[in-house]
Amino acid sequence: MPGKLQPDILKQKVLNFTGALREDLLVGGGIGEDAALIKVPDGILVAASDPVTGAGKNAGSLLVHINANDVACKGANPSWLIVTLIVPDKLGEKFIENIMREIHETCEKMNIAIAGGHTELNNKYDEPVISGTMLGITRYELSTKKIHDGDLILATGHVGLEGMSIIADDREDLFTGIFTRDELNIIRSWKNNLSVVEPAKILREFSRYMHDPTEGGLNGALYEIQEACNLRLELDDNNIPVSSLTLRASEKLGFNPRNLISSGMLIAVIPPEKISQAQEKLRMQNISSSIIGRFVEGRKISLSANEELWGILAREKSNQVKDDTDE
């Protein structure tokens, strides 16, 4: 199946190969780990790498945000970005310029320097390969290894916001008859809410671990964390934040919103004694949050890590929903 490798396959085929053992690598590749932590003289270097594969529009901005999110989830300020662009000949130099301008403008707003990378035109690919590596410095050592029995799970944002905005931009036809024009504009605006850098900065002093649910959505993220920390999840389904628009789309199109890619949502694992102060600091910045569950000893619950977006984008136009919705 196309997309991110399932955790069991990742363990077998990728994570077994770790190179040399080094004492300065505090956290390396692992299920549920968004970035590496490397001991350096002035603290801990955080390094994260992610591509953009499912978004046509706003790909440059999205590349910055998803990599910045991963670094922020480890308690660092995203500071330096390395960009790799491998672009089909047919798209040409203009495409490269447009993508780089978008990356530059997004980085400039976030005080991130573009530190280098690699760019080429290539006739071996039908679609561009766009990848980034983000770096930052932290004093926090956040990891799944730090999660304890009884820790609470705090969430900001709402499930599926990234996936919904991608569908609205790239396959608006699928939303025909489901949403009014004003509702479509609201969904498209969610692409402006994909950064978790600010809530992560607030929560890093209270958290044992933070994670942003990207491919696989909230369920995929929770599956990875549960596997990594070897504790059972107890979820409060009524507290999981989901927009009524996302729920309507999921009912009409037949998908699980909790498995829709969700950059812009943040999960923080926080000790019970720190949760009130953490939520109060978020409220002071007008950031809403919900306690969606906790970790306990016991048998793990069953969760799917399968991403819904790719199947939705691949649907034929003839399969679109034709219900009438008043404008």
What is the predicted pLDDT for the residue at 116?
96
What is the predicted pLDDT for the residue at 327?
45
Please state the three-class secondary structure of 86-151 as a single string: EEECCCHHHHHHHHHHHHHHHHHHCCCEEEEEEEEEECCCCCCEEEEEEEEEECCCCCHHHCCCCC
| DSSP 8-state assignment for residue 202 | H
- 97 and 153 in a single domain? The answer is no
> For 231-245, how does the pLDDT look when each residue is reduced to its tens digit (9 = 90+)?
999 999 999 999 999
Average pLDDT score over residue span 102-118: 97
Strand order in the sheet with 209-211: 209-211, 266-270, 152-156, 290-296, 232-235
Q: Report the distance separating Cα 95 and Cα 248, nearest Å.
A: 35
Of the listed ranges 58-67, 145-154, 192-201, the one predicted with least confidence:
58-67
> For 220-234, how does the pLDDT look when each residue is reduced to its tens digit (9 = 90+)?
999 999 989 989 999
What is the predicted pLDDT for the residue at 10?
82
- 57 and 176 in a single domain? The answer is no
| DSSP 8-state assignment for residue 78 | P
Phi-psi region of 52 (alpha: psi -120 to 50; beta: other; left: phi over 0): beta
Q: Report the distance separating Cα 206 and Cα 39, nearest Å.
A: 21
Q: What percent of the chain has pLDDT over 70?
A: 95
End-of-domain residue from the set 97, 115, 138: 138
Say if 177 falls within a structural domain: yes
For residue 29, pLDDT beyond 90:
no
What is the predicted pLDDT for the residue at 2?
63
What is the predicted pLDDT for the residue at 55?
52
- 22 and 86 in a single domain? The answer is yes
What is the predicted pLDDT for the residue at 321?
47
Instruction: Please list, in sequence order, all residues whose beta carbon lies within 8 angstroms of the beta carbon of residue 283, skipping any fewer than 6 positions away.
Output: 289
Average pLDDT score over residue span 96-119: 96
| Domain containing residue 195 | 144-319
For residue 322, pLDDT beyond 60:
no
Average pLDDT score over residue span 52-71: 85
Q: What percent of the chain has pLDDT over 90?
A: 79
* b (16+ CB within 10 A) / e for 60-79: bbbbbbbbbbbbbbbbbbbb
The structure tokens listed for 44 are 């801990």
> For 251-292, how does the pLDDT look when each residue is reduced to its tens digit (9 = 90+)?
999 999 999 999 999 999 999 999 999 999 999 999 999 999
Number of domains in the chain: 2
End-of-domain residue from the set 91, 115, 138: 138
Q: Which residue has the higher pLDDT, 249 or 29?
A: 249
Q: Tokens 């691949």 correspond to what residue? A: 314
The CATH number linked to 121 is 3.30.1330.10
> For 169-208, how does the pLDDT look when each residue is reduced to its tens digit (9 = 90+)?
889 999 999 999 999 999 999 999 999 999 999 999 999 9
- 116 and 168 in a single domain? The answer is no
Note the pTM of the prediction, 2 decimals: 0.89
